A and B are shown apart, each in its own frame.
Chain A
């Protein structure tokens, strides 16, 4: 059974703080993804990674960075949190190169930046 876990379900931070969101998957997937989800906007891709130490920008990378030091772990970093980064953050993992394979999602982190 695929499992994707995220370090926190709820997080409250102050403007300007550095925020780390961590994601771990246990299925040896090559691909990992970070999305943010806002009402009326659906899921938007922030960053993704096809392999350890590799990262690619998604549709909305501004204000975020990522780190993938190990295959199973993909971290999203908000260097200086701002109120417009208040959102739901979803991590996902998936197999590389298979068009039919779904992505498997974590439970999400609801981040509130005050």
Chain B
């Protein structure tokens, strides 16, 4: 079974609108971390935002926020006021502290976001 599921292979959003990228995860570990990365066409993976499993508040970083719903095991990324430069691949990842992944990051398959002018 997939540990990280991103159900949207591709999405379009109009410039200046908000967009939500979905991510669900599967773990039996009580302690874990969730990450979002952006990968522009240049290839480099850019860290965007982190949410710990014990964090009570949703993480925010500028225009990025993470809608963390622990009971539903979802960690959706919300980008407000989309910009043309937001066009990229977005990856959700998880680190389990006690799970079988040896503490390494487990990545989803990604969502390609295209921002329309």
Contact = CB atoms under 8 A, between A and B. Distances in A.
Are A and B physically bound partners?
Answer: yes
Interface string B25-63: 000000111010100001111110010100000000000
Nearest to B43: A108
Interface stretch (B11-19, B74-82, B95-103): B95-103
Contact of A40 (B44, B95, B102, B109): B109
Given A40-B109, A45-B104, A105 B97 contact: no
Contact of B35 (A33, A42, A102): A102
A105 B45 contact: yes
Interface string A91-104: 01000000110111
Interface residues of B, number: 26
Contact of A107 (B42, B47, B105): B42
* Interface SS majority for chain A: strand
A92 B95 CA distance: 15
A110 B42 CA distance: 11
A42 B91 CA distance: 8
B91 A43 contact: yes
A76 interface: no
Contacts of A43: 91, 107
Given A42-B108, A99-B95, A104-B47, 15 more contacts: A33-B104, A42-B4, A43-B91, A43-B107, A45-B105, A88-B43, A90-B43, A92-B45, A99-B33, A99-B52, A100-B52, A105-B44, A107-B42, A107-B43, A107-B44
Interface of B: 4, 9, 31-33, 35, 37, 42-47, 50, 52, 91, 95, 97, 102-105, 107-110
